[in-house]
Chain A
Amino acid sequence: MSDREPELPGLLDGLVCVIRRDLHLAWRRPGDVLNPLFFFAIVSTLFPLAVGPDAEQLALNGPGVLWVAALLAALLSLNSLFLNDYEDGTLEQLLLSPQPLPLLALAKAIAHWLVSGLPLVLVSPLVAMSFQMPARSTAVTMLTLTLGTVSLSLLGSIGAALTVGLNRGNALLSLLVLPLAMPVLIFGARTVSLAAAGDATAAGVYFLGAYCMLALTLAPFATAAALRISNE
């Protein structure tokens, strides 16, 4: 017989628990990871086919296409961020849990990034190479894509929370996330272009970093509010 109070799980436990669960589920449904990745690869293949093999043209437009493809791939996978949890009742449990909801929302966004954003970043050098983009831009490409996809996962989680359970929520989700994602796209593509040309890229990277920090600190609260509203 023990008269010790049972220890409640701490904040970090809650975060890690949700992330692990999502990763587990993603592992069992490889399609979740592979679909956006395949989409990314397909778009990247179609571009040179459509535009023609001229190396200079490809390299010139490569950063832009790379980024648009990454954005679309991220949007593709956002819809299911909360949908499955909504349908099987897990979302309700998350809402009722003693853990702060913004923390759990952050966990979902992190898990989403690990499953959809990170693979994109890892695959990007190959795609960049196929666009004849110079090797010196690879590091900047990966860095900016990392910051960009993290921002997208966070901002996208707000949109996903607002539209969970709605008819045609998919298209609406894209419309909602698009204006928020535009600055990321602009600066990301621009910075990679600068890197390819050998120019200074610090400004763009700083901007993306700042945007990412802003998203990291504010998005979870907005997502949490949106989740509560969508589940009344």
Chain B
Amino acid sequence: MELLSMGGYGAYVWTAYALTFGVIIICVAQGRRRHRRVFDDLRSRLRAASERSK
């Protein structure tokens, strides 16, 4: 089936698509990770500050 070979251009086409989806996934993951990190960081700071003041 010409699915994989793409008329001989398979390597080019599939690499391009793989890169595209790879980058999209990286962007999504990076964004979520960063949000998580900022949130948790703030939380632990606040917790530490509130424990200190007890």
Do chains A and B directly touch (beta carbons under 8 Å) in the complex?
no
